[in-house]
Amino acid sequence: MNCNVLKTSLPAEKVHKTRYAPTPSGYLHLGNLYSFILTATIARNTSASILLRIDDMDRDRFRQEYLQNIFKTLRFFELPYQEGPKDEVDFLKYWSQQHRLDNYTKALDELRQKGLLYPCACTRTDLQKAGLLSGCARDCSTKLRLDDPGLNWRYRTPEQSQFLQLFTGETIAYDFPVSMKDFIVRKRDGTPAYQLCSVVDDTRFGVNLVVRGVDLLESSIAQVALSHSLDNNTYATAVHFHHPLLTDKAGYKLSKSEGAESLHTLIKSSSTPSQILTLLAQRCGINHLVSHWTDFTYSELTSIV
Ligand SMILES: [Zn+2]
């Protein structure tokens, strides 16, 4: 991806709130634990507070045991947060994204009024056949209407570069990624899509430090563009930290599953927090004993390969 470094400053002094943003769509794995620990470490170093924001808008993949797994993991490793649900009951009662549908609808209305949305009936297969990674394959906007049933709503993404402030102090201009062209903001079933919910939520809760895997860099660029299209949305001013991805022994990206490296399996098999943290340390190339997440340092966590 093309990008230009524009300037250097010290954004670490400006951050005050970050978040863990897990999705209850599978059991968490060592990579998720790494991301949580890095977030907690950066928060500790910058005196930022942490919000627990669980993204449960995707109800097709939601399962109660995955939700429980999130709380169990945070408790098991004593990972702190100052804001958010304290348990599953509290989450479902007060913190679920289902309670914020009005916020998402308001954002969609605003985009619609600004002429930034169009309907699309294309399936993934249609896009593949047209050789597209994202966007519309059939010029749907001229033939369909937003209020027709069963259509995705696409956001007309800008052509111009997007600026991201990075935790390292740089502000970088990224070309808009082809993979995010005209990304979907409302799904066929009428529910708001992930990128829109995330941008709306981070603004609502005042998050201004986003720590996430480098695989989500293109998502961050897309979200910054979306933020600029919404009045009073602050996501575009957030500081970003895109961390390297932990891989399995064979070098492949970890996925949410019940495999040997899922935290669900590790915790269930009576491993202690220290044993699991030591396994994580080994995977990160760290060779000293760890018995608590605070035993990891920022420089160790950010220099994994
Ligand atoms: Zn289309």
- Under CATH, which number does the domain 3-116+156-301 receive? 3.40.50.620
Helix (H) or strand (E) holding 67: helix 64-76
The string of pLDDT tens digits covering residues 48-94 is: 999 999 999 988 889 999 999 999 999 999 999 999 999 999 999 99
- Output the pLDDT for position 107: 98
Beta strands in the chain (DSSP E): 3-8, 17-20, 49-52, 117-120, 152-155, 162-166, 170-174, 184-186, 209-213, 239-243
> Does pLDDT of 10 surpass 80?
no
Mean pLDDT score of the chain: 92
The string of pLDDT tens digits covering residues 141-159 is: 999 999 999 999 999 999 9
Which of 1-5, 228-232, 274-278 is modeled with the greatest confidence? 228-232
Query: Which amino acid appears at position 140 of this protein?
Result: C
Span from the CA of 140 to the centroid of ligand 1 (angstroms): 4
pLDDT class of 289 with cuts at 50, 70, 90: confident
Span from the CA of 264 to the centroid of ligand 1 (angstroms): 40
DSSP 8-state class, residue 53: -
Residue whose pair of structure tokens reads 């891989």 in the numeric block: 247
Span from the CA of 214 to the centroid of ligand 1 (angstroms): 29
Helix (H, G, I), strand (E, B) or coil at 273: helix
Span from the CA of 155 to the centroid of ligand 1 (angstroms): 12
The string of pLDDT tens digits covering residues 247-261 is: 777 677 776 665 657
| Gap between the Cα atoms of 40 and 159, Å rounded | 35
Span from the CA of 230 to the centroid of ligand 1 (angstroms): 24
